[in-house]
């Protein structure tokens, strides 16, 4: 008799990974009197602890975390359609529900200004000068991080460096949005200061270091440079009459002299900063997947790939990633588009390699693929047969099923269940007991940032592009001859939004750089930002998110073992497509007839309406709304607005 198993997981070896960081044991801060506080090195350490807690990304105590942030992208999908990708439901919101939030910045600015006051005539600060400088540098880093969060969501945003009084005129002026390129330049300046102040090796494991400042600088510069390149001449970028800030800044000019020179400035910064990180950390970890299932004890401080990670401690700070990913579908699923982006080990796309097994059976689909593609493989196995990804041999006849008929947070939305972030340790698969770390910065990002920025800047793969690209491919178990991949790429066969920018196909080399980035960083919350900055969402028209090939053969496994497989109720009907379609599970879904159609006003978030009242002085507002969005409460965007 077959043994039926809903896929949980099969052992992966855990390898040590190194980091400049390992910090958890923190005390809550009580500022008390500002005269009594900020007088010692320890005071500064305690104050910045709060920034780590409140700002850095983390996996949640119960449901969700970094692993499902890509649900809002073409890499993954959650249990319901995302209103970012269709018209009519995304609305202006109250400030409390918006990313238009400055609470962290207020605390950071207070910290920076108070420490600088103490150091410059305010009585001084006792302790090690290098540690005092380091903690001050952390403040500048977090101020940059928060401004980047605002930039990514809103474009033009205020630049805040001081605590504001209650004076209406001062508040109104402080909320004035600054052109996005100048915000990005400010962020880079703050990170230059952070780099000059912080230590190469942090004062405690788990804290920031110089490489973290440079990595964030490279990320910001690449983001802004490519955003300005692909959105040039639109309402989303300064320097033209369509820009929503044009009326407020009629005499605006780019600091670099022209729009293209401004783009090149940011690309140059990205190249230089990412190169600095790779020079400091030239080697990648030997294996990819163990990077995401290590706990605190596996990290060392030998300048390895992981620059910064958030760590957890049983009974103090913990998550449930292992429980949801190992025992359920976790309310997410990798998309067919993502899975098809991964190369064969030959270095060829799936359509160019005669050894590709097709997708009728997932066991065949996953053979000889890029090692970063880690999914739980649905299928019927006979005793002695091996899992095509893990290589583990089944002792008995076994049927593995993904959780496509489950509901809520236990549902597998596409049938491609993720193994990245999933620990095989049974103790990590208990709700609220997870302590595996989540990397925040890796030197692999520096390599890919350098690769993309260099090609965008110079149109060739000079400099260190060749060395970095080959390292990434070798770690993935893929033939490192990227030229072979480029030559065999047929853009018309690539089911990837990143094939396009501004509605036009990019060249095959640039596309394959984007492919590499997609495969390296899936399920790390980067994909939406990439699609936005590349202006690839213009091509999300009548777009169907798809999962496994259910209706050619694999459905028979569920019909034999799972009575809950029901067309139009738990899964999409076979008459719609042989592939599982999460946007068409039931006919009541808003996406059932047309799929996703990205509205261009959704490239940026709307400013909360109450902010316009706060920013008004003598009947004149210092704020302007983002393209297409109204200034009334609970309003939808004007989808006829000419964003281009």
Residue 642 lies in a domain: no
Helix (H, G, I), strand (E, B) or coil at 157: strand
pLDDT in tens, 362-388: 999 999 999 999 999 999 999 999 999
For 28, counting Cβ atoms within 10 Å of its Cβ (0-12 exposed, 13-18 middle, 19+ buried), the class is exposed
Strand 500-501 relative to strand 504-505, pairing: antiparallel
- The mean pLDDT value for 81-85 works out to 98
- Structural domain contains residue 331: no
pLDDT tier at 614 (50, 70, 90 boundaries)? confident
Indicate the SS3 state at residue 504: strand
Other CB atoms within 10 A of residue 148 CB: 22
Q: Among candidates 415, 367, 444, 579, which has minimal Cα distance to 76? A: 415
CA pair distance 351, 492, nearest whole angstrom: 11
With residue 112 as reference, give the H or E element that holds it.
helix 103-119
Assigned domain for 548 exists: no
* Pick from 389, 416, 391: nearest CA to 401: 416
- Buried b or exposed e, range 80-103, using 16+ CB within 10 angstroms: ebbbbbbbeebebbeeeebebebe
Distance CA 323, CA 3 (A): 22
Distance CA 407, CA 411 (A): 5
Q: Is residue 471 assigned to a domain?
A: no
Q: Is the pLDDT of residue 20 over 80?
A: no
pLDDT band of residue 621 (cuts 50, 70, 90) is confident
CB atoms near residue 378 (< 10 Å): 26
| pLDDT at residue 11, as a whole number | 27
Q: For residue 33, is pLDDT > 70?
A: no
Percent of all residues in the chain with a pLDDT value above 70, rounded to a whole number:
93
Decide: helix, strand or coil at residue 332: strand
| pLDDT score for 301 | 47
Is pLDDT above 60 for 19? no
Domain contains 419: no
Q: Among 42-51, 397-406, 606-615, whose mean pLDDT is lowest? A: 606-615
Residue 298 or residue 460, greater confidence: 460
User: Angle at which helices 41-55 and 129-154 pack, to 10 degrees?
Assistant: 20
Q: What integer pLDDT is reported at residue 300 of this predicted model? A: 54
Is the pLDDT score of 625 beyond 80? yes
For residue range 330-366, what is the model confidence (pLDDT) as tens digits?
A: 999 999 999 999 999 999 999 999 999 999 999 999 9
Highest mean pLDDT (candidates 18-22, 54-58, 386-390): 54-58
Paired tokens of 9: 């997981």
The residue among 496, 452, 468, 202 whose CA lies nearest residue 336 is 496
What is the count of structural domains for the chain? Answer: 1
User: Considering only CA atoms, which of 320, 312, 316 is closest in space to residue 294?
Assistant: 312
For residue 299, pLDDT over 80 is answered with: no
pLDDT in tens, 173-232: 788 999 999 999 999 999 999 999 999 998 888 899 999 999 999 999 999 999 999 999
Q: What is the pLDDT of residue 18?
A: 34
pLDDT of residue 8: 32
The parent domain of residue 199 ranges over: 23-63+100-283
Q: Which one is predicted more confidently, 379 or 33? A: 379
Closest among 382, 378, 337 to 565, alpha carbons compared: 378
CA torsion 175→180→185→189, rounded to 10°?
Answer: 40
Determine the pLDDT at residue 124.
95
pLDDT for 303: 60
- 399 part of a folded domain: no
Average pLDDT over residues 383-410: 93
Q: CA 203 → CA 131, 139, 199, 271, 345, distances in Å?
A: 7, 15, 8, 28, 42
Q: What angle do CA 432, 437, 442 make, to 5 degrees?
A: 150
Question: Measured between alpha carbons, how far is 10 from 8 in angstroms, rounded to an integer?
Answer: 7
DSSP string, 243-281: STTTTT-TT---TTSSHHHHHHHHHHHHHHHHHHHHHHS
Residue (of 344, 394, 403) closest to 369 by Cα position: 344
pLDDT above 50: residue 4: no
Q: Is the pLDDT of residue 58 over 50?
A: yes
Residue 358 in domain: no
Q: How large a percentage of the chain has pLDDT more than 90?
A: 83
Q: How far is CA 55 from the centre of its chain?
A: 15
Name the one residue in this structure whose structure tokens are 């602890």.
49
Comparing 17-26, 72-81, 131-140, which segment has the lowest mean pLDDT? 17-26
Beta bridge partners of 3: 398
Mean pLDDT of the chain: 91
CA distance 10 to 114: 52
Q: What is the pLDDT of residue 34?
A: 54
Residue 482 lies in a domain: no
DSSP line for 395-436:
SS-EEEE-STT--GGG-BSSS-EE-TT----GGGGSTT-B--
Can you give the CATH number for the domain in which 30 is found? 1.25.40.390
CA 124 to each of CA 29, 30, 40, 49, 121: distance values in angstroms, whole numbers, following the listed order:
20, 20, 8, 21, 7
Binning pLDDT at 50, 70 and 90, where does residue 488 land? very high
| Confidence at 17, pLDDT banded by 50, 70, 90 | very low
């Amino acid at each position: 008799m077959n043994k039926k198993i809903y896929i949980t997981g099969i052992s992966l070896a855990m390898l040590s990974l190194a980091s400049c960081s390992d910090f958890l044991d923190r005390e809550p801060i009580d500022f008390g009197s500002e005269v009594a506080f900020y007088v010692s090195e320890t005071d500064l350490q305690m104050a910045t602890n709060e920034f780590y807690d409140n700002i850095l990304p983390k996996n949640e105590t119960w449901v969700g975390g970094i692993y499902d942030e890509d649900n809002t992208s073409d890499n993954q999908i959650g249990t319901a359609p995302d209103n970012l990708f269709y018209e009519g439901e995304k609305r202006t919101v109250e400030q409390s529900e918006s990313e238009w939030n400055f609470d962290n910045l207020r605390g950071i600015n207070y910290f920076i200004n108070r420490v600088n006051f103490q150091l410059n005539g305010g009585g001084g600060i006792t302790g090690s000068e290098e540690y005092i400088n380091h903690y001050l540098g952390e403040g500048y880093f977090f101020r940059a991080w928060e401004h980047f969060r605002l930039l990514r969501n809103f474009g033009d945003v205020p630049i805040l460096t001081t605590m504001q009084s209650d004076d209406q005129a001062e508040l109104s002026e402080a909320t004035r949005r600054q052109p996005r390129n100048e915000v990005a330049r400010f962020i880079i300046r703050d990170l230059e200061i952070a780099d000059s102040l912080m230590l190469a090796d942090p004062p405690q494991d788990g804290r920031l270091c110089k490489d973290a400042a440079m990595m964030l600088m490279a990320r910001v510069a690449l983001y802004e440079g490519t955003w300005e390149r692909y959105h040039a001449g639109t309402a989303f970028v300064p320097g033209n009459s369509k820009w929503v800030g044009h009326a407020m800044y009629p005499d605006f000019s780019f600091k670099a002299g022209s729009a293209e020179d401004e783009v090149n400035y940011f690309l140059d910064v990205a190249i230089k900063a990412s190169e600095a990180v790779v020079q400091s950390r030239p080697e990648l970890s030997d294996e990819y997947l163990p990077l995401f299932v290590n706990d605190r004890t596996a990290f060392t401080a030998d300048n390895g790939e992981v620059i910064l990670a958030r760590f957890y401690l049983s009974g103090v700070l913990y998550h449930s990633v292992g429980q949801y990913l190992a025992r359920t579908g976790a309310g997410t699923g990798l998309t067919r588009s993502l899975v098809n982006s991964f190369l064969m080990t030959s270095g060829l796309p799936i359509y160019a390699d005669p050894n590709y097994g097709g997708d009728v059976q997932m066991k065949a689909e996953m053979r000889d693929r890029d090692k970063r593609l880690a999914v739980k493989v649905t299928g019927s196995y006979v005793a002695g047969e091996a899992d095509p990804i893990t290589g583990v041999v089944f002792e008995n006849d076994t049927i593995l099923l993904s959780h496509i008929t489950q509901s809520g947070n236990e549902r597998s939305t596409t049938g491609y269940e993720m193994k990245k972030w999933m620990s095989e340790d049974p103790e990590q698969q208990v709700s609220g007991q997870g302590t595996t770390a989540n990397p925040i910065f890796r030197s692999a990002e520096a390599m890919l940032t350098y690769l993309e920025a260099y090609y965008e800047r110079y149109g060739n793969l000079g400099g260190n592009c060749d060395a970095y690209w080959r390292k990434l491919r070798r770690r993935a178990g893929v033939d490192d001859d990227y030229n072979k991949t480029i030559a065999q790429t047929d853009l018309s066969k690539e089911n990837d939004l990143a094939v396009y920018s501004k509605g036009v196909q990019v060249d095959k080399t640039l596309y394959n750089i984007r492919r590499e980035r997609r495969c390296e960083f899936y399920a790390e919350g980067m994909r939406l930002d990439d699609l936005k900055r590349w202006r690839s969402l213009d091509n999300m028209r009548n777009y169907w998110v798809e999962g496994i090939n259910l209706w050619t053969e694999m459905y028979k496994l569920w019909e034999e073992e799972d009575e809950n497989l029901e067309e139009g109720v738990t899964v999409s009907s076979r008459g719609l497509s042989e592939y599982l379609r999460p946007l068409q599970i039931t006919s009541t879904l808003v996406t059932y007839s047309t799929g996703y159609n990205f509205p261009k006003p959704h490239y940026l978030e709307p400013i909360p309406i109450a902010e316009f009242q706060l920013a008004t002085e003598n009947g004149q507002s210092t704020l302007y709304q983002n393209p297409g969005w109204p200034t009334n409460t609970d309003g939808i965007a004007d989808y006829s607005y000419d964003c281009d």
